[in-house]
Amino acid sequence: MSEILKRSISEHADSLVKGEYSSLELTRAFLERIDSTNPELNAYITVAHESALKEARESDERRARGDARGTLDGIPYAAKDNIAVRGLRLSCASRMLENYISPYDASVVSILRDAGAVLLGKTNLDEFAMGTGTESSYFGRAKNPLDTDRVSGGSSGGSAAAVAADLCSFALGSDTGGSVRQPAAFCGIIGLRPTYSALSRMGLVGFAPSLDTIGIMSRTVDDCSIVLRATAKRDALDSTSAQFPTKSLDGILPRDLRGKRIALVREVMELDISEGQRIAHSRAADVLRELGAEVSEVSIPSLPASYAVYYAISSAEASSNLARFDGVRYGMRTEGMESLEEMYVKSRSLGFGNEVKRRITFGALILSGDYKKDIYENALRMRARINFELTKAFSASDVLMLPTSSGYAYKAGDLKDELFDAHLKDDVFCALSSLSGLPSISLPCSTVRKLPLGIQLIGRAFEEKTLFDVAAHLQCALN
């Protein structure tokens, strides 16, 4: 069975329909591979053996009765461990929630449950999704399956490693400032950050709610489109969720990219980028031209500053959001304290790791006194300016293209003590889409010493179909 684990969702769906194998057999094969590989990779924090087998059996029974629910029925997947699944631990890779069992499903999980998808388990991440290589996980980092000395990216590094190592057929991640796209790039897979509000955030543990988005990680562009179509739904439980025009995803892949206007962002060249990434980026542009696209350049003057804007806004929101983990409402509570204040301080000091504390402290600081005006409010103004620059850019183009990160996956430990610097360098590539809410997709575009590099496409709101069309052509031509 192990050779079929690499197959796409449609291939599995086809085989399930034809009865070539059952969902139970497929799920067992994934679980066996997880059992043999995960102790080394650490992609999953929790493996849901029992419930996965039960869900697979139920799917097979439905199919036998002629009640199969569609493409995703019986397809095994994984969810990042900051997404709630009823009855399973929801740890956010934090000591704070080490033993917390979720009493309910996130809306996206319950949509997938209704579609018949089989949940294999919960994947590793940076603590509360803050980081770039899962090195801040309380459970230890996830390793990159392509080179285990290297990180698999972050914060959805467990999901990326799980997809890349054939430990699931697709995975959910979350992307606040690049956490789906960058790990996808580091592991050589597809990572979609959908339009903000397209997927319900209900049941996603918040980091920075004005930026948080559940994202999709898969082996192929087509798989990503299948999962988006199934999960993008207006949800009454999330007042920010919107009705995605699912019909816009219909239609076949155009023969080429004639008529598509793709713009490269001029300021990218001012950023710190590795030679390999620079070459891969310009090769991708050449390929787009060969495919008939009109390739031009556009200026987003605020690009170099975007990481700082992202950093200020996300930390400010995180400081307020994570206040609920106080040992009373949520989270671990320490023993042996003499006052209420001491209980808060001790519980939070022990429950949170350094990176989370750093963000909360920075966020609280810039929301107070003069810092609020100087930093937080300026960041909000800059966010508006970035939106303005993007609107202008999209008046003459359909898609923007830029690298997903400055280079390939770094060695574990290389950035551990300088996470701040790591962000300065790399989060800048992902901040535009995060701050604007526009959809973006990362796809593998090249390899250097067998390590993948990613290219990122940003589109107009709710125009994921355009991203899929360009990404599918690009991926096919680059391979």
Catalytic center residues: 80, 155, 179
Measured from the CB of residue 315, what is the shortest distance to ligand GLN in angstroms? 8
Provide CB contacts within 8 A for 155, sequence distance 6+. Answer: 125, 126, 129, 130, 131, 132, 134, 173, 174, 176, 179, 183
Structure tokens at 119: 């949940």
Residue 113: exposure state from Cβ atoms within 10 A (0-12, 13-18, ≥19): middle
Scanning 174-182, 254-262, 335-343, 459-467 for contacts with ligand GLN by CB under 6 A, the matching segment is 174-182
Position among 46, 94, 176, 347 found at the interface with ligand GLN (CB under 6 A): 176
- Using the rule CB under 6 A, which residue among 42, 94, 102, 132 binds ligand GLN? 132
| Closest distance of CB 157 from ligand GLN, Å | 11
- Is 175 a binding residue for ligand GLN by CB under 6 A? The answer is yes
**Which residue stretch of 12-20, 170-178, 274-282, 371-379 sits at the interface with ligand GLN (rule: CB under 6 A)?**
170-178
Determine, following the binding rule CB under 6 A, whether residue 452 of this chain makes contact with ligand GLN: no
CB neighbour list of residue 206: distance below 8 Å, 6 or more residues apart: 212, 317, 321
**Rounded distance, CA 468 to CA 163, Å?**
19
Cβ at position 378, least distance to ligand GLN in Å: 19
The footprint of ligand GLN on residues 135-164 (CB under 6 A) is 155
The count of chain residues that interact with ligand GLN, using the rule CB under 6 A, is 15
Residue choice 177, 206, 353, 403 for contact with ligand GLN (CB under 6 A): 177
Name which of 23 and 137 has its Cβ closer to ligand GLN: 137
Report the nearest approach of ligand GLN to the CB of residue 132 (Å).
Answer: 4
125: amino acid identity, one letter: L
Angstrom distance (rounded) from CA 358 to CA 344: 17
Nearer to ligand GLN, 135 or 238 (CB): 135
CA distance 181 to 191: 5
Cβ distance to ligand GLN smaller for residue 229 or 423: 423
Contacts of 32 (CB under 8 A, 6+ apart): 1, 2
Residue 94, preceding bond cis, omega within 30 degrees? no
Q: Are 434 and 466 in contact (CB under 8 A)?
A: no
Per CB under 6 A, contacts with ligand GLN among 239-258 are none
Identify whether the C-beta of residue 231 lies closer than 8 Å to the C-beta of residue 112. yes
Distance CA 114, CA 100 (A): 24
Quick one: 96 or 472, whose CB is closer to ligand GLN? 96
Nearest residue (beta carbon) to ligand GLN: 179
Closest CB to ligand GLN among residues 172, 226? 172
Q: Which string of x and - marks every residue 411-450 that binds ligand GLN (by CB under 6 A)?
A: ------------x---x-----------------------
Decide: is 178 part of the binding site for ligand GLN (CB under 6 A).
yes
Which tokens sit at 321?
A: 């959001």
Which is nearer to ligand GLN, 118 or 199 (by Cβ)? 199
What is the spatial order of strands in the sheet that 399-403 belongs to? 44-47, 118-123, 76-80, 170-175, 213-218, 190-193, 440-448, 451-459, 399-403, 261-265, 294-298
CB 355 to ligand GLN: min, Å: 8
Strands, E assignment, 117-227:
118-123, 143-144, 147-151, 170-175, 190-193, 213-218
Q: Of the candidates 137, 314, 347, 405, which one interacts with ligand GLN according to CB under 6 A?
A: 314
Tallying the residues shown for the chain, one arrives at: 479
Residues near ligand GLN (CB under 6 A) are: 129-132, 155, 174-179, 207, 314, 423, 427
